[in-house]
Each structure stands twice: as C-alpha cells, then as structure tokens.
Structure 1
Amino acid sequence: MGRATAVDGVLDVPVIDISAWTDGTAADRAGIAGEIDQAARTVGFMQIRGHGIPEAAGRAFAAALDGFFGLPMDEKKALCAPSPDVNRGYTPPRTEKLSLSLGVPAAAEDLFEAFNVGAEAAAFPGLGLPEAHYPANLWPTVPGFRDAVTEWCAQAGGLARRLTGIFAHALGLPADYFGPFTDHSLDVLRMNHYLVPEQELVVDRDQMGMGAHTDYGIVTVLWADRVPGLQILDTEGRWHDVLPEPGCLLVNLGDLLARWTNDQWLSTMHRVLPPTDASGRVVRRRSAAFFHDGNWDAEISCLPGCVPVGADPLYPPTTVGRHLAEKLGGSRAGRSNANSPREAARLLAARGD
C-alpha cells in the first residue's frame, strides 16, 4: 500500500472521463477500464470527470457544510458521539491523530474538525445488522442540512458503486463481482473543515491538518475546495501536492481493494497540511470524503490471479468489520494500530523536505 510512482519528480494524478461507461461502446468501456487500471497501479488516486453529479447538488452540499461548521462550538459539541468507537456525529479540532491508524504516534493532535454520517441498520430491514457497526445518525437542526447531505450521499454513493463495476471490468472479474461484498456497505460520509481560532492562525511545522493515513475501505469519493493542503506519498518517500481539477471529483482506493489485489492496486498514503497562505497563516479549507467500505461481515482475501505462483499473499484474510475497527481504534480512540507494520515503516521513512 502507498507506493505512488513519480516520474522525474512529478506525480501525475490522471483525469479520467467516465461519461461513456454506461452508454458507450465496448471499446469505450475497455478504454475507461484501462485508464482506471493504470491509475490504480501507479498512483492510487485519480480525478473523475463525467461523473454525472449535478452542480446544484454540490452547491447545496457546500452550503450545508458552511451552515454546520459556522455554528457555535457548544452547539457542535452537543452532537458528539457518546463514544469515540461510534463513527458518527461531530469531532472537535485536536481530538484525533490519523497517523495512529498506521501505528505511528504524532507530535500533536490533528487540526481538522469533522462531522460524520453513515449507513444505518434501519436502512437494511430484515438483516439484523449490528448497531455497533451501523449506528444511528445524529443530525443538526441547520435548515436544509439533512436534505443536502442525504442527497450528496446518494450521488457519491452512486458514483462509488459505478466505479466498483469499472474496477471489476479492469480486473477481469464478472461485472457484479463486488455486489455481494457491498449490498449492505458500511458507507460513511466524513465532512471536514480546517480552520483554527483567530488567535492561533500560525501553526507549528509538525502540526498536521490531518495526519498521514491510508483510507480503510474499498474506494473514496472526495469533494474538496481547490485550496492547497492535500498531499500524497510516492515510492521515494516524497510528498506531492494534489488539487482537484475544476469539474472533477478526486477518487482514491482504500486498503481493502489493495488487499484484494495483493497490492497490485494501491491504497496510497496521504495527509493534509494545515492550509496556509504565503505568510503561513491558516486559511479555510473544506472537504468531504465518502467512504464506500463494504459489508461489515464480508471476508476479504486475495483475488485469484493476484498472487505469483509459489508465493503467499501479502495480507491474511480479514473481514471488513475487523479491519475498520483496528483502523478506527487508532484514529478515533487513540489505540495505536499494531497491524499495519509495512505502512508504518513507509511513513517513518518519508522524507521531511
């Protein structure tokens, strides 16, 4: 995981237009799948154009974020989850260290504040899904917030499911291969806001907006302001800035897809620096990551054909629920994850220049 390839010091995050996937020719589909495969093997990130999400949905969603994060802190804190093990509700600034999801302590807590919503057990009647994995959402009373966020979840979720169909094609699998692993997926939308109080507008060099990590699940659909901060790690241990192109959504692969493909496809390590202007003063940045993580009880083991003859898979089988619990226990609950030694070594070896 985490081995994005730079060429002559430049890391290209390709723009891929998927508009012809549904109604295009077989050649169109093969071309899109080939571009996805190339990006998945070399970068682990891509920029998706032609996703079909209406601009109006994005504008309403951005307004909803502004409405919530503009609330007084005491109103936001009233929506904190009852326990850090519950991946819902409000996360105040400086309460998480994302690098602990890799088992690497950070010098300071991350600056971001966040609000999470996700798939509820009630959305899948008759399955008896555990509330611990599918907890109820907490909703603020901000006018229009719930409707706009629910619509964005539907749009981003639709894109994530379309992408898994493209992934199956690119990997030579049946078109519906990922369906049984995702029909009650643990989808979560994490809305992030980077801005610290006025009296703390200059930050220390070791302070992270969001600490280095890989995403935990299958695929992430990321909406973000075109404000610098997001960086991804290459094979040589160098960090590279990434900004979304206008009209594109950033998409990156998660750990579970890397496990499925025996690291042939990359779950790339990334972080967010405190977004600053030329004088080093923190400026506002918003983002929202829709995590399509798979069914809590799905077992993930290496796909046929992804392990060389005579070799063992790089990762033992795991379940989605177990893997997410280990990762979230680090980032949210402060329990250092001991089951990511290869990723931890890569982060510790990253260059500081």
Structure 2
Amino acid sequence: MAVAETRDGVLDVPIIDLTPFRTAGSDADRDAVARAVDHAARTVGFMQVVGHGIPVRTLDAFTAAMDAFFAQDLATKSAHRCPPGVNRGYTPPRSESLANSLGLVSAADLFEAFNVGAQAADFPGLNLSEEDYETNVWPDVPGFRPAVEAWFAAAGEVARTMTRVFGRALGLGEDHLTRFTGHSVDVLRMINYRLPSADADLEPDQVGMGAHTDYGIVTVLWADAVPGLEILDGDGRWHPVQPAPGALLVNLGDALARWTNDRWISTLHRVAAPRVDGRLVPRRSAAFFHDGDVDAVIAPLPTCVDAEHPALYEPVTVREHLHAKLAGSRGGVLTEGADREAARLSR
C-alpha cells in the first residue's frame, strides 16, 4: 500500500503552478508541470496549486456566504438537513464519522457542513438518476446561492484542469481521464469546525474530522490558515499541513489510486481539533470533490499493470464505490472492502 513519504522526518507538500495548463503554455512547460504532479502523486498524494486563476473576489464572496449560513442558529440550519442517503444540505456537528468509511469505529466528528453538487437536471438528455445526482437545497440567506455557485464553477474548473494534467503525467494524453468525467458526480462540501468553547474538554480521540481518504478522482480544497489538517506518513506519524498564501490544496482520491493501481497515493488525512496556543479556535474549509461519472468503471489502467505490478483491485463502478463510502461516513454503516486504506493506520 502506497503511503506518504518523508525526508529526514519532514513531509513536503510541493507548490505547483498551473499557469501553463490554463494558458497556451509550451509542451515543455506542460511536461514540467506533469512531472511535478507525478512526483507529488507518487510520494505524498497532496500538492499546493497556484496559478489556478480564481479571483480573490470570488473567494471573498464565497467565504462571506459560508459565514452567513453557519452563523445561523442550529434549528434554522437543521431545516436544510437531508436524510443520510442524500449527500446534500446541512450536516449538524457530531452526526458523521469519516473513519467509518475505512471500516473503523470512532467518535463522531466535530464539524458541521453544507453540501451542494451536480444535479441530474445539469445534464439534460442523459436520463441520470436523482439518486446519484441529487437536487440541491438552498437556504434563504442573501447572496448565498450565487456566491456558492460561482465557487463551485471555479473549483470545478481547477479539478478539470488537474484531470488533464493527470492524463499527461501518466503518459496517456490530456484527454484520457476526462472520458470518465463527462457527467461527473461533483460535490462541494462547506465545512465549519463548530466547537463548544475555546477551552472545552473534548472526548478521548475527538477530532474535527476523522481519518479518511477521499473517495473520487481529485479534491480541490480551500482552507483557513489555521492548524488542523494533518497527513499520515508511512511510519504512522501525523504531519500538519497549511496552504501557502493564495494556494489551493489538491489531493488524490481512492478512484484515482485504484485507476493507477496504487502508483499514485490516496493519502490518509484528518482534521485535528484546531488549536492555537493550546486553545480551540474557529476553522473553515471547502472541499470540491471531482468523483467521475457514476457509470464509469474504476479498474487499474493497463499502463499501470504488468508482471511486477499485478492488478490490486477488482473493477467497481463509481456508483458502487461512492455508495459504499457514503454509507459509512453519513449512514454509520462500516464500509467493507477498505482494508488496504485502513491498514495504513495500523502501521
């Protein structure tokens, strides 16, 4: 099982400039970006991207919208709660456990969240199921929907750019992986680490968000410059990660790790209860998940399988994979078949 590597005990999350893929960059410049991404994907599974092209005003409007929603009282927010099987709407604090998606039992996570995503109506003529592409619910908060939709579009463009970079990095061509994403199951999760008080005592092993891998192809993450996010290395040590100013964090999901037959890493990570000088502090983040077409088959790519590297995974559809993972994190059903991911916690 591939795990994040350290050098002299230090975990490096490299900064990569996407500008050559957003402009008419030369083949040499694009190849340089692809090599940097391949190295990061092999060694840590995370990277920081700059040159992503998202205007500061788009981020400012988005974070203001998040703040306005989460500032409401719990009863008002809970009016937008959906059943566990519907990956939309509001999630109250301590109602999910991300470690369940690894088949592990853990304390409920501290965070609260609000999810929106791609809808069946966004792809007219494909007759997609609303069970896979659920309808969004929108709170009556002034400016919330347009600001969130603008960020959804902007983060989605970064995810699609990364998918083209991945294809080039794997030597398959920039369009190879995009054939799995024509009607991708994309979800934006806005997260607030709602904490009881700055000096509260937490339950044993209580974290902001439990240890997990992401489920799809790629995650594009914006986060406050506040401690919390941690990555697990091959020796079982957790390393804090904070994005550089203006950078977005990008990490690979299980689907891409499976497609590459673990050549690339879907890294275990968590969010510790955010603390500064020993006191709990507020923290926000927003994760855009680019998960692939619901009917796409996830199976090791032929270029990632040979006599020395036999296929490590049986084929599974994106639908089957996501349903199993979400039943764990949102539904409380311990996910089966996640042994390879979970084994890294016991190293």
2:109 corresponds to: 110
Measured on the aligned residues, the alpha-carbon RMSD in Å equals 1.2
- 1:91-110 alignment runs, 5 A limit: 91-106=91-106, 108-110=107-109
* TM-score between both structures, scaled by the size of structure 1: 0.96
Shift of 1:237: 1.1
> How far apart are residue 307 of structure 1 and its match?
1.4
Look up the match of 1:30.
Answer: 31
What is the CA-CA distance between 1:199 and the residue it aligns to? 8.4
Q: 1-side partners of 2:306 and 2:9: how far apart? A: 30
Deviations 1:108-155 (A, max 9, x none): 200000000000001111111011111100100110000000000000
- TM-superposed CA distance for 1:312, in Å, is 2.9
Q: Distance in 2 between matches of 1:335 and 1:93?
A: 18
Which residue of structure 1 aligns with residue 118 of structure 2? 119
Aligned residue in 2 for 1:337:
335
Residue type at the aligned position of 2:60: R
Q: Is the 8 A contact 1:299 1:319 kept in 2?
A: yes
Matched to 2:109, the amino acid is D
1:138 correspondence with 2:137: yes
Q: Cα distance, 1:200 vs. partner?
A: 7.0
Per-residue deviation at 1:201? 2.7
The aligned counterpart of 1:346 is 344
8 Å contact 1:2–1:214 — kept in the other structure? no
- Secondary structure of the structure 1 residue equivalent to 2:280: coil
Q: Distance in 2 between matches of 1:41 and 1:252?
A: 11
Aligned to 2:65: 64
Structure 1 residues 72-103: Cα deviation after superposition (integer angstroms, max 9, x where no partner)? 1100000000x101000000000001000000
2:211 equivalent to 1:212: yes
Percent identity (aligned): 59
Task: Decide whether the 8 Å contact of 2:222 with 2:248 is kept in 1.
Answer: yes
Q: In structure 2, what residue type is equivalent to 1:266?
A: I
Structure 1 pair 220/2, CA: closer, same or farther in 2 (3 Å)? farther
Structure 1 pair 114/10, CA: closer, same or farther in 2 (3 Å)? same
| Number of the residue aligned with 1:283 | 281
- The AA in structure 2 aligned to 1:331 is S
- Find the counterpart in structure 2 of residue 6 from structure 1: 6
Whole-Å Cα distance in 1 between the matches of residues 327 and 45 of structure 2?
Answer: 24
Distance in 1, matches of 2:253 and 2:147, equals 26
| Residue identity in the other structure for 2:306 | P
Give how far 1:180 is off.
Answer: 2.1
Q: How far apart are the structure 2 equivalents of 1:245 and 1:74?
A: 36
- Who is 1:84 aligned against? 84
Whole-angstrom distance in 2 between the partners of 1:199 and 1:42: 36
Given that 1:111 and 1:209 are in contact with CA atoms closer than 8 Å, whether structure 2 keeps it comes out as yes
Q: Contact 1:219–1:253 (CA<8 Å) still a contact in 2?
A: yes
Q: Which runs of 5+ in 1 are unaligned?
A: none
> Could you say if the C-alpha distance between residues 289 and 199 of structure 1 is closer, same or farther in structure 2, counting changes exceeding 3 Å?
closer
Equivalences for residues 311-326 of structure 1 within 5 A: 311-326=309-324
Q: Which residue of 2 aligns with 1:248?
A: 247
Q: Deviations over 1:314-337 (max 9, x none)?
A: 111110010000100000000001
8 Å Cα contact 1:2-1:269 kept in structure 2: no
What does residue 146 of structure 2 align with? 147
Question: Which deviates more, 260-269 or 171-180?
Answer: 171-180
Distance in 1 (CA, whole Å) between partners of 2:189 and 2:204 is: 25
Displacement, 1:235? 1.1
Aligned partner of 2:193: which letter?
Y
SS at match of 1:187: strand
Task: Supply the distance in 1 between the matched residues of 2:276 and 2:244 (Cα, whole angstroms).
Answer: 20
Gaps of 5+ in 2: none
SS in 2 for 1:32: helix
Q: Give the corresponding residue for 1:270.
A: 269
Aligned to 2:15: 15
After alignment, is 199-208 or 214-223 more displaced?
199-208
Look up the match of 1:327. 325
Question: Match of 1:298?
Answer: 296
Contact 2:198 2:281 in 1 (8 A): no
The letter of the residue matching 1:222 is L
**Would you say the 8 A contact 2:232–2:268 is kept in 1?**
yes
